């Protein structure tokens, strides 16, 4: 059923990022409202009803924290959902500050489209359901007042009840009910039967039968709610039901009591809304949030290791080394993101690393398609980066006459990669291993449980990497090394 669109406010001082957010969120089918500054966002809020605010933390003049504080000061926007986007590492203190300002979530950069859409969708649906419940609550209050005034007119009461039930059915996964507190009679509409998974022809509505459909963990809570009707006029709670077929459904119930002139409860009327899909969406959202947090921490840990272990005699050389390794990590992160972190193809990792050096057919690749799990892909990408960097500085890729052949194969779940340089400067066995070589050995041997062998031949470096793969990682049949000319996969980079 088509739903009413809600307004989502996008706040960022960079037009390119705003355009990117529009593209990502377009498929949600909501109204996207753009603001290029904090002050412009405040002007929009005063004129438009906003469901969710997506705001950049770092903006000139008025940053995201200051904007959030100003928004929360206005009574109208105290419950508006705000999601912060941060391109920098956010400390726990900054997160606490953001939550105090009213933020409901953080999204790190680079933004994962699926995660951003999932977050926005959850809060947009929550806003829409909240508005629906507010409207239903208002309607319910009107209904109670009308039924109290027309208590002596039974025909009018039944007509009013039928109208309210029809409205509940038309609204979607909703049902309405009435309970005569004096006689104990119950009345359910079609929506109520549908939510509980029973039919009026086979199910008798009475306390015992209804309780049998309630989740055992929620029975006491609802008993207390019924008892409170003696001292209150309205009540709202979430609870679970167990349908006859065993399916568990989440519901939110809103009930209001009708009292006589002496204050005695004479009737209880209510609305039940099936919120199972919303609950499942919240669970998926929480799972996504934990997954994103886990991956972000892993990426930061790798970056910290790179910064901590990099050595150089000059600041410029240190900066270049760190930037190169961080960029290599970013490239593999992009590849993994495009596959929703299911894995990465070895050939794509190599393509990304060799792109700056593809000159005049110097590089030849040969090997089958191999799918790597994320952890293996990240580590192997850094190892390849070290090999390409060293070759460009001292080896075959440092001169146009040099040649590089990279071949690989998979046999018995073991990936073997052969790196063979020739035609470059005269090679001499180094007296000591540099950081690049040490980090390559450490990553392949300690992190992947593999082996790295170096042969410093005079005509060029020969390196052999052996990396064990899980059964799900390799997607090719065993085979021998593919020499240049193999029909399986062979290309010269130019």
In a domain, 96, yes or no: yes
14 and 106 assigned to the same domain: yes
pLDDT for the residue 408:
94
The CATH number for 33's domain is: 3.40.50.2300
Query: Are 243 and 372 in the same domain?
Result: no
Phi and psi of 268, rounded to 5°? -125, 130
Helix (H), strand (E), coil (C) string for 363-387: EEEECCCCEECHHHHHHHHHHHHHH
pLDDT of residue 372: 87
Q: Chain centroid to CA 177: how far?
A: 38
- Confidence at residue 84, expressed as pLDDT on a 0 to 100 scale: 82
Same domain, 375 and 482: yes
- CB contact set of 121 (below 8 Å; sequence gap of 6+): 28, 281
The whole-number pLDDT of residue 328 equals 63
Q: How many domains does the structure of the chain reveal? A: 3
Does any domain span residue 293?
no
Q: How far apart are CA 79 and CA 68, in angstroms?
A: 12
Of 274, 297, 323, the position where a domain reaches its end is 274
Task: For residue 471, give its domain range.
Answer: 310-493
Q: Is residue 478 part of a domain?
A: yes
Residues 220 and 316 in one domain: no
- Helix axes 315-338 and 276-309, enclosed angle (nearest 10): 150
Residues 43 and 159 in one domain: no
pLDDT of residue 100: 63
Q: Is residue 21 part of a domain?
A: yes
User: Where is the domain boundary, 230, 251, 274?
Assistant: 274
Instruction: Return the C-alpha torsion angle 118, 120, 123, 127, nearest 10.
Output: -130
Q: Could you give the dihedral angle defined by the CA atoms of residues 90, 95, 97 and 101, in that order, rounded to the nearest 10 degrees?
A: 120
Q: What is the domain-level CATH number for residue 165? A: 3.30.450.20
Q: Is residue 140 part of a domain?
A: no
Structural domain contains residue 364: yes
- Residue 480's pLDDT is what? 37
Give the integer Cα–Cα distance in Å for 183 and 146. Answer: 21
**Same domain, yes or no: 256 and 368:** no
How big, in percent rounded to 5, are the helix, strand and coil portions of the chain? 45, 25, 30
Domain-embedded: residue 1: no
Asked if residue 345 and residue 214 are part of one domain, the reply reads no
Per DSSP, the residues of 105-122 read EEEESSP-HHHHHHHHHH
The pLDDT averaged over each successive group of 10 residues in the chain (494 residues) is 79 88 89 88 86 82 75 77 72 61 72 86 86 85 77 66 61 79 85 89 89 90 72 76 92 85 82 88 75 57 54 59 63 67 81 72 88 84 84 87 92 91 87 67 80 90 89 39 36 40
Predicted model pTM: 0.39
| 304 inside domain | no
Same domain, 462 and 347: yes
């Amino acid at each position: 059923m088509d739903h009413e669109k809600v307004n989502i406010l996008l706040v960022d001082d960079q037009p390119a990022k705003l355009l990117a957010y529009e593209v990502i969120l377009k498929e949600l089918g909501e109204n996207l409202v753009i603001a290029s500054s904090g002050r412009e966002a405040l002007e929009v809020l005063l004129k438009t009803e906003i469901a969710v605010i997506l705001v950049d933390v770092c903006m000139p003049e008025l940053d995201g924290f200051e904007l959030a504080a100003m928004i929360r000061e206005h009574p109208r926007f105290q419950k508006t959902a705000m999601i912060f986007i941060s391109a920098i590492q956010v400390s726990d203190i900054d997160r606490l500050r953001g939550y105090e300002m009213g933020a409901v979530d953080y999204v790190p950069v680079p933004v994962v489209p699926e995660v951003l859409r999932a977050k926005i969708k959850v809060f947009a649906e929550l806003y829409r359901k909240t508005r629906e419940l507010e409207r239903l609550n208002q309607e319910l209050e009107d209904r109670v007042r009308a039924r109290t005034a027309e208590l002596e007119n039974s025909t009018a009461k039944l007509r009013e009840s039928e109208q309210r039930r029809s409205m509940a059915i038309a609204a979607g996964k909703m049902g309405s009910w009435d309970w005569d507190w004096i006689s104990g009679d119950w009345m359910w509409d079609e929506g109520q039967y549908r939510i509980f998974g029973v039919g009026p022809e086979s199910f008798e509505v009475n306390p015992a039968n209804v309780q049998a459909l309630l989740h055992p963990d929620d029975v006491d809570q609802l008993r207390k709610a019924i008892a409170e009707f003696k001292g209150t006029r309205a009540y709202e709670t979430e609870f679970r039901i167990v349908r006859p077929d065993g399916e568990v459904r989440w519901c939110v119930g809103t009930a209001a009591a009708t009292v006589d002139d002496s204050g005695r409860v004479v009737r209880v009327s209510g609305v039940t809304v099936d919120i199972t899909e919303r609950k499942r969406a919240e669970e998926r959202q929480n799972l996504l949030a934990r997954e994103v947090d886990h991956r972000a921490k892993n990426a930061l840990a790798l970056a910290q290791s790179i910064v901590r272990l990099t050595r150089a005699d000059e600041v410029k050389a240190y900066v270049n080394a760190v930037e190169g390794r961080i960029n290599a990590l970013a490239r593999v992160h992009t590849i993994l993101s495009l596959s929703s972190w299911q894995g990465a193809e070895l050939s794509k990792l190599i393509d990304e690393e060799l792109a700056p050096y593809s000159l005049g057919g110097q590089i030849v690749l040969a090997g089958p398609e191999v799918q790597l799990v994320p952890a293996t892909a990240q580590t192997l990408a850094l190892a390849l980066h070290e090999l390409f960097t060293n070759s460009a500085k001292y080896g075959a890729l440092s001169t146009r006459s040099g040649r590089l052949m990279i071949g690989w194969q998979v046999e018995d779940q073991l990936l073997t990669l052969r790196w063979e340089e020739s035609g470059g400067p005269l090679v001499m066995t180094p007296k000591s291993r540099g950081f690049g070589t040490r980090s390559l050995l450490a990553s392949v041997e300690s992190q992947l449980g593999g082996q790295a062998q170096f042969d410093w031949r005079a005509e060029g470096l020969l390196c052999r990497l052996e990396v064990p793969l899980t059964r799900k990682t390799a997607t090719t049949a065993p085979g021998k090394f593919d020499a240049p000319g193999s029909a399986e996969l062979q290309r010269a980079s130019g």
